[in-house]
A and B are shown apart, each in its own frame.
Chain A
Amino acid sequence: MSQQMTGAKMVVQALKEQGVEVVFGYPGGAVLPIYDEIFQQNEIRHILVRHEQGAAHAAEGYARATGKPGVVLVTSGPGATNAVTGITDALMDSIPLVVLSGQVPTFLIGNDAFQEADTVGITRPCTKHNWLVKDPNKLAETIHQAFHVATSGRPGPVLVDIPKDVQFATGTYLPPKKARTDHYAPRVKGDIEAITALVEMMETAERPVLYTGGGVINSGPGASQLLCELAEATGFPVTSTLMGLGAYPASGRNWIGMLGMHGTYEANMTMHDCDLMIAVGARFDDRITGRVNAFSPNSRKAHIDIDPSSINKVIRVDVPIVGDVGHVLEDLLKIWKSRGRKSNREGIESWWKRIAEWRAIDCLSFKPSKDTIKPQHALQRLEALTRDMDRYITTEVGQHQMWAAQFLGFDAPNRWMTSGGLGTMGYGLPASIGVQIAHPDALVINVAGEASWLMNMQEMGTAVQYRAPVKQFILNNERLGMVRQWQELLHGERYSHSWSEALPDFVKLAEAFGCKGIKCDHPDDLDEAIREMLAYDGPVIFDCLVEKHENCFPMIPSGNAHNQMILGEAETQGVIGQSGAVLV
């Protein structure tokens, strides 16, 4: 085959050779030549979204559910700027995305041309790296480099901006093998001395904890397996961030639940009182640490992370280990075994007794109701009715997201997609479509709040067009629940703009989109309604009318420490001080 081809053809050729099967995108003037090439082939499937933000989130969902990079194709100007939220979301959550954007022709750049935006300038701070390609001979190599950067080291989004004249021009195609990628080679093997130092600490620790995060999942299924092996072999309790759920199975013996602001009491108390904290692919986010100077005050800390800038950024650690979680855990286990599999059995046994006392508080309990559906109850029922299915869960952002994390159990990685770092309302619906495209036969549920869901509801059109049978499980409290909760706790119950007076009829909305709508407003009808949703072969909008003023507990109020959790309504008076108020 001739290696001379147009830029547009190179784009499609490069995507094929990178093993891309699906592209999420939206056409426009500056990408028409690429769309013309997509039209003339059948290997790469293009999913037409309804808004470029949806394309980015769908690609994120696809990436998280498969471990492969998600690919986005958008036009110049508004196409690119609309994608920025999704790109930033991917950066914050370390999701590999390759975004290809059209640009006005090179001779018009800087001219305020129609649909021109400084895309590389705008996306510079929200990508791992980006490129503006002005020479067709460099286009193929740049795209290969883009895939390399997006997927190596700490994954993240990259963007390649391609002017329209470069798409038309003819140049030489370079296959992936010949592309120069060696200049970016993050370290994956951890320092053996540091790992040995950690093993020594593990051998004597009385109150250890494994604090795991999204890095375990990003490292691949092997890393999750090694984590399980480590936890089972040592008997150490395991907690996880929002991003890391599923890396260690929720049904596992050592699981103590999610930690952080809305994590379990036992997980946060374990973190606070431990004497050895092993952070594995987690980054000490402010939702996790609470007040930094009161964070786990009496522990020695080890931190395994592939990104050197994550280490000592928030919390000073005693043993930093830069490397890929999978590689480091493998070496860690090897060294621990070769030194005789030692651990402080007695200490750990009494540690588990203390954890059991904390667990006995039953921090996730809530007041049940016979007349209104409690959101927690709705999720308990969803969990009970879907637990054994081939299930993937996405969420929007807010109270429902925290309840989903608390009440749904994940036994495998890549089954839980949520916007953690950026907290993007409107993430869940397009992400669920991306997941469903990757796994057409699986059950994909987006646990949503009605306010978040409305932010990208246009994507129901995408779901219907591609027959993606995503289930939109909307916990509808007619409120911006998390905002409302904070206004109650922090702003004297002045509920400024945190409710919607004009919500759509979701059942009619579903009909308008050409899918099924189900409404449920009584606990007695809930199981039947969920079963109906699961049985329907197509997309469903499930409008679950829930208790309007339910608060999400337990909770570490802003500016407080892990051992200052509030467990329910009775404890909420004046819990957030002035210094905490600014922390959100």
Chain B
Amino acid sequence: MSPLKIQQGSSKHSAYDLRDPYSEVLETHTLAVLVDNEPGVLARVIGLFSGRGYNIDSLTVAETDHQGHRSRITVVTTGTPQVIDQIKAQLGRIVPVHTVNDLTVEGPSVQRELALLKVTGKGDARIEALRLAEIFRANVVDSTLESFVFEMTGAPDKIDAFADLMRPLGLIEIARTGVAALARGV
């Protein structure tokens, strides 16, 4: 597998992979964790995952309520159902954590990730890259005579698919934000 193809839960690309190989079926869940934005809160969450041997497939965090100093951490994690339940319970008992929502089981959700992809090439490959970018609704945010930087937003697998197509056309670098997610409806 190419190093740039990011498959959720694969050991090469998750930050931590200490899974028991004899466990039951693995599931990937997206958790939304609402926390007080106080010093060290991210370290507490990350430390929980590393300390207890859980996976982090992707992690995004930013203050979402500046007045109330609340941050939203979106973490994509992989594990057996028992491990996923443990992760939620362990997150829930961190003092500055207000709520833990499992968007994967609590109904449909929208999941989006932003990626920047640098593609170098000339001639036909360059034209093909532009054409594919249009199909995927990726924008060109930087251009030289030998390169493009594409910006695209989408579900992680859409970005995976785009990256796969770009690779033979000269993909040399990729930056991804990790998943941000919200439950659908109200």
> Which residues of A approach B to under 8 Å, CB–CB?
120-121, 124-125, 128-130, 132, 149, 153-154, 183-184, 186, 307-309, 311-313, 316
Contact = CB atoms under 8 A, between A and B. Distances in A.
Contacts of B161: none
Contacts of A120: 40
Given A125-B51, A183-B36, A308 B93 contact: yes
Contacts of B86: 309, 312-313
B47 A124 contact: yes
Contact of B89 (A125, A129, A309): A309
A133 to B, nearest CB: 11
**Interface SS of chain B:** helix
B39 A312 contact: no
B179 to A, nearest CB: 24
Given A129-B95, A316-B82, A124 B43 contact: yes
Interface string B85-100: 1100110111110100
Nearest to A128: B95
Given A132-B39, A149-B95, A124 B44 contact: yes
A309 B95 contact: no
A297 to B, nearest CB: 18
B93 A125 contact: no
Contacts of B95: 128-129, 149, 183-184
A308 B95 CA distance: 14
A470 B165 CA distance: 75
A309 B40 contact: no
Nearest to B44: A124
A400 B94 CA distance: 36
Nearest to B89: A309
Nearest 4 CB-CB pairings of A with B: A309-B89, A129-B95, A308-B89, A309-B90
Residue of B44, B92, B93 with highest tally of chain A CB at under 10 A: B93
A130, A154, A308, A309 pick with most chain B CB within 10 angstroms = A309
A248 to B, nearest CB: 28
Contacts of B39: 132
A314 to B, nearest CB: 10
B42 to A, nearest CB: 11
A309 B43 contact: no
28 contacts: A120-B40, A121-B43, A124-B40, A124-B43, A124-B44, A124-B47, A125-B47, A125-B51, A129-B94, A132-B40, A153-B93, A183-B36, A183-B95, A183-B96, A183-B98, A184-B95, A307-B89, A308-B92, A308-B93, A309-B86, A309-B90, A309-B92, A309-B93, A311-B89, A312-B82, A312-B86, A313-B86, A316-B82
Contacts of B40: 120-121, 124, 130, 132
A140 B90 CA distance: 28
Contact of B93 (A124, A183, A307, A312): A307
B27 to A, nearest CB: 15
Most chain B CB within 10 A, of A125, A149, A316, is at: A125
Contacts of A307: 89, 93
Interface in B122-137: none
A313 B54 CA distance: 13
Nearest to B39: A132
A145 to B, nearest CB: 9
Nearest to B81: A312
Given A129-B94, A154-B93, A307-B89, 13 more contacts: A120-B40, A121-B40, A124-B40, A124-B47, A129-B95, A132-B40, A183-B36, A308-B92, A309-B92, A309-B93, A312-B85, A313-B86, A316-B82
Contacts of B94: 129
Contacts of A313: 86, 89
A284 to B, nearest CB: 13
A312 B93 CA distance: 15
A130 B94 CA distance: 11
Nearest to B48: A125
Contacts of B85: 312
B7 to A, nearest CB: 28
Interface string B71-111: 00000000000100110011011111010000000000000
A298 B94 CA distance: 35
A154 B89 CA distance: 13
A477 to B, nearest CB: 36
B96 to A, nearest CB: 8
A128 B96 CA distance: 11
Contacts of A186: 93
Max count, chain A CB within 10 A of own CB: residue among B39, B47, B89, B90: B89
A309 B82 CA distance: 11
A124 B50 CA distance: 13
Contacts of A130: 40
A269 to B, nearest CB: 28
Contacts of B47: 124-125
A186 B92 CA distance: 10
Contacts of B36: 183
Nearest to B86: A313
Contacts of B43: 121, 124
Contacts of A309: 86, 89-90, 92-93
Contacts of B98: 183
Nearest to A129: B95
A153 B94 CA distance: 12
B114 to A, nearest CB: 30
Contacts of B44: 124
